Structure 1
């Protein structure tokens, strides 16, 4: 026979405390309060139509295709309809505030930092033996082996091995400095001499350098980065007042 277990609000607070997630949750609470306060000061309001669109998008993302599935999801997460509306409202107000603060700053930021957004189409094999890395470099260079042959023989990760070491389009800002300096100094297509990092010796084939373009995807990325940085700056000077002892 199964036992009935009662979980109280105090139990939940105690679990948050014991899981050491209090600082993370406090930061989320402060961020939310800072954003809502800033939106209010800026005179930003949310229209009913905007809430409805955001609610529809939320249900679509979470695959809640019917009212029954939505209610089941709310019950699973112990949320009321008011809680759901608060989630949707927050997503809309966050988006509108970020647009209000930073839409005009996206292009200047991009042009100031556009080198960071350059991309490279590259293939990579990471080795632990310097002599082997040099040997393989010259073997590929002289046509004794293909880069694909090296990748299939020396890459341990199954999926990466199947792709021949193909990493896709990698942003300059996502590469280690020592690698980006070498990669963006060549004229593709070109095989680079092994580069030493803390991970090992990187044998890299550069297929193409892609110049940065301020498309919608990059606009949204920059907007998100600027907004996240702004939030960090806003909450740094905030002093957290300990109102109660969790679990007491």
Structure 2
């Protein structure tokens, strides 16, 4: 039994808490998103079947290792929601996915081809230091083999987290980099030392471990649909707000 459920909280307290945590706008926006999704799905005749809800519920049970019905009920009680609330949430998420597919699935390939360069990636290492003189000195030491790039990152990078990872930034999209940096990084062969390049953060040295060409994988396909759908929802909400404003003429 979840003892939290025994303590009544006024709806006004919840709203005031969301305001104080600066989260009310996000919740408000998500409620409007839900309203738009349901309305447009209804207009297009898009529905979610009981079988689809059950399949997703079973997937979540497996994910949470809930073998018995009693385990599921205990888990839901711990989340302060009823089985009905749970199924409603599943239905809304499935409806959102179906609507997104219906609206944008046929546009993904065209969008990808038009923006192919933006989806190129690199496996990137970098060092950022505050001093131009130090950046130049490290560049020459690395070039001469007096110190490895990774040792230099571990010793001198201004970011503690990156120091511990010896400069490793991970797999980075072209669009996630500043345009001037992206231009250089994607025009240089892997393993070649790049820099120093100055930004507001400091002076950067880079090494690209590998260049990853843009490929329309299933994950990227879904990522593009999700972004298109989110942008569409925002524009729909903005249109609703525009209609709700009183005319100034």
TM-score band, normalised by shorter chain: 0.7 to 0.9
RMSD between aligned alpha carbons? 2.3
Matched-pair contact (CA < 8 Å) for 1:116–1:171: yes
Q: Which residue of 2 aligns with 1:184?
A: 186
Find the aligned partners of 2:187 and 2:216 in 1 and give their Cα distance: 22
Please identify, of 186-195 and 88-97, the stretch whose mean Cα deviation from structure 2 is larger: 186-195
Find the aligned partners of 2:14 and 2:147 in 1 and give their Cα distance: 60
Question: Secondary structure of 2:29's match?
Answer: helix
Matched-pair contact (CA < 8 Å) for 1:102–1:223: yes
Matched-pair contact (CA < 8 Å) for 1:54–1:91: no
Matched-pair contact (CA < 8 Å) for 2:130–2:158: no
Q: Deviations over 1:54-77 (max 9, x none)?
A: 112333445544433322232233
Report the alpha carbon displacement of residue 129 of structure 1 after superposing the two structures with TM.
0.9
- Greater RCO, 1 or 2 (C-alpha within 8 Å, sep 6+): 1
- Gaps of at least 5 residues in structure 1 are 243-248
Aligned residues: 239
Please identify, of 76-85 and 111-120, the stretch whose mean Cα deviation from structure 2 is larger: 76-85
TM-score by length of 1: 0.87
Q: Which residue of 2 aligns with 1:8?
A: 10
Find the aligned partners of 2:70 and 2:243 in 1 and give their Cα distance: 41
Q: Deviations over 1:117-137 (max 9, x none)?
A: 101122111111110001101
Which residue, 238, 241, 247 being the options, matches 2:240?
238
Q: Which residue of 2 aligns with 1:71?
A: 73
Matched-pair contact (CA < 8 Å) for 2:125–2:206: yes
Matched-pair contact (CA < 8 Å) for 1:133–1:203: yes
- Gaps of at least 5 residues in structure 2 are 1-5, 245-249
Please identify, of 71-80 and 115-124, the stretch whose mean Cα deviation from structure 2 is larger: 71-80
TM-score by length of 2: 0.87
